[in-house]
Amino acid sequence: MALDRSARSASDILRLGRGEKLTVVERIFLLAIVSGVILLDVFGMLSTPDADLLRSAVSILATATLALFVVSPLVATCALGLAFAVSFIVDAQTLVLTTAAVAAALVMRLGRTSLILSYTAGFLVATAVIAYGDTVAPVNVGIYLIAATVSGGVGFALRMAFARGHRLEQQLAASAEQERQAVLAERRWIAGELHDSIAHHLTIVSLHVQMLDDEQARPDSQEAIRVAARKAMTDLRFVIDLAEDGPRGAEVQIGDLAAALAEAREELEAAGHAVAFQGDPRDERIPRSAEIILARVARESATNILKYAGAGAIEMQLSVTDETAMLTIGSPMSATARRSLSSSRTGLERMAERVLGGSGEFSAGEVGDRWVVMARLPIARRPDAAVESVRKS
């Protein structure tokens, strides 16, 4: 896999299908070099009495075209070609060809594939014209070809270095984003666990604190507060221990459905609600994954009933078939409209997230004068049951 990624990266670099841009440092360096060479040419032209002004002007023009690579490699290449054509008038071909050899580095550094190929062909034609053309003195074009090759190699090396640097920056940015998402996921996980466990116990404490003024209910309320506080501390230590192990991609599988339903029933009865329960939470057909989710739904529903339900009986029903396991919890509506009660709806959202994450169905809302929560989860059929079904058919 690593070799495959390296091969793709090398292929992307060699394709050269995308034009590049000079960095700020490269632009400053290029403009400084061009300016220095032009100043030297101007100084030499002015300090030499018998200097050929037209020939010097063409040389300066060719040098100045290098600065155009800052704006557009295509425009700079066209301008350099124009300067080379003009150089034949004043016999300055070798001066412009020297500039063109240096410009090969910029073409390889910045140009697209089409521009690079066109520039290479044009440079070879120019050297052939000078080599076989009618010149005053013979010209060794091999020097210019070697210079252009070396210059182009430098430009290509710079291009690869910047491409690899850019790719490394992208990889580092992606890695940093993954770390940030992992931290956020860990925070969401901790917040969810605290909400599902600590908030439930705090709700019980808050409810029974209001009953401490009743002398008859005080002993039971004190015991309920003591038990809830002890459970809250136990759950808090559990969450802290899990968080110290590092981020988790999935929730920790805790929760026993029978124990969760029994605990919810005790807490609701302690708060003055009559609870009617139907079903067998220890049914072996319920898979562990569904049991965990339904246990959380039962616990969160009990928390919401303690917060918002009116006086009356609570109905819990667990229906299990070979296909699904469905938990339905109904509670009387409060005299205050539910939408008028303060609620973050975090509990409902987490219940829905858990059930839907298990490929189930979830609903919560008013049904007549009751608030009904329903969670239905699929049950994976056992292989022997599936074989038996096939035999019977």
Copy the structure tokens of residue 206.
Answer: 């808050």
Split into its structural domains, the chain has a count of 2
Residue 5 pLDDT exceeds 60: no
CA distance 40 to 54: 16
Residue 202 pLDDT exceeds 70: yes
Candidates 188, 180, 176, 326; CA nearest to 250 is 188
Residue 12 pLDDT exceeds 60: no
- Does residue 109 fall inside a structural domain? yes
- Does residue 79 fall inside a structural domain? yes
Q: Are strands 324-332 and 314-320 parallel, antiparallel or unpaired?
A: antiparallel
Confidence (pLDDT) at 316: 94
Residue 275 pLDDT exceeds 90: yes
Predicted confidence (pLDDT) per residue in 142-153, tens digit: 898 999 999 999
CA distance 284 to 173: 49
What backbone phi and psi angles, to 5 degrees, belong to 326? Answer: -125, 130
What is the helix (H) or strand (E) element at residue 372, kind and residue range? Answer: strand 370-378
CB 328 within 8 A of CB 317: yes
Boundary of a domain, candidates 120, 139, 158: 139
Sign of CA dihedral 338, 340, 343, 349: positive
CA distance 158 to 51: 38
User: For residue 19, what pLDDT band results from cuts at 50, 70 and 90?
Assistant: low
E-strand stretches of 151-310? 275-278
Residue by residue, DSSP assigns 15-80 as H--S-----HHHHHHHHHHHHHHHHHHHHHHHH-TT--HHHHHHHHHHHHHGGGGGT-HHHHHHHH
91: left (phi over 0), alpha (psi -120 to 50) or beta: left
Confidence (pLDDT) at 43: 85
Confidence (pLDDT) at 307: 83
Predicted confidence (pLDDT) per residue in 42-59, tens digit: 888 888 777 778 888 888
Predicted confidence (pLDDT) per residue in 308-327, tens digit: 888 889 999 999 998 999 99
- Does residue 182 fall inside a structural domain? no
Boundary of a domain, candidates 98, 120, 139: 139
Reduce the DSSP state of residue 326 to 3 states and report it.
Answer: strand
When pLDDT is averaged across residues 235-239 and rounded to a whole number, the result is 68
What's the domain range around 375?
257-393
CA distance 385 to 392: 11
Q: Residue 315 has what DSSP assignment?
A: E
- Does residue 240 fall inside a structural domain? no
| Length in residues, the chain | 393
- Does residue 187 fall inside a structural domain? no
Highest mean pLDDT among 43-47, 134-138, 295-299: 295-299
- Does residue 60 fall inside a structural domain? yes
CA distance 370 to 289: 29
CA distance 326 to 388: 24
Predicted confidence (pLDDT) per residue in 333-360, tens digit: 886 654 544 455 677 888 888 898 888 9
Predicted confidence (pLDDT) per residue in 94-115, tens digit: 888 999 999 999 999 998 888 9
User: For residue 251, what pLDDT band results from cuts at 50, 70 and 90?
Assistant: very low
Copy the structure tokens of residue 207.
Answer: 């409810």
Boundary of a domain, candidates 89, 124, 139: 139
Confidence (pLDDT) at 91: 82
Confidence (pLDDT) at 280: 92
Confidence (pLDDT) at 211: 76
CATH number for the domain spanning 324: value is 3.30.565.10
- Does residue 373 fall inside a structural domain? yes
- Does residue 170 fall inside a structural domain? no
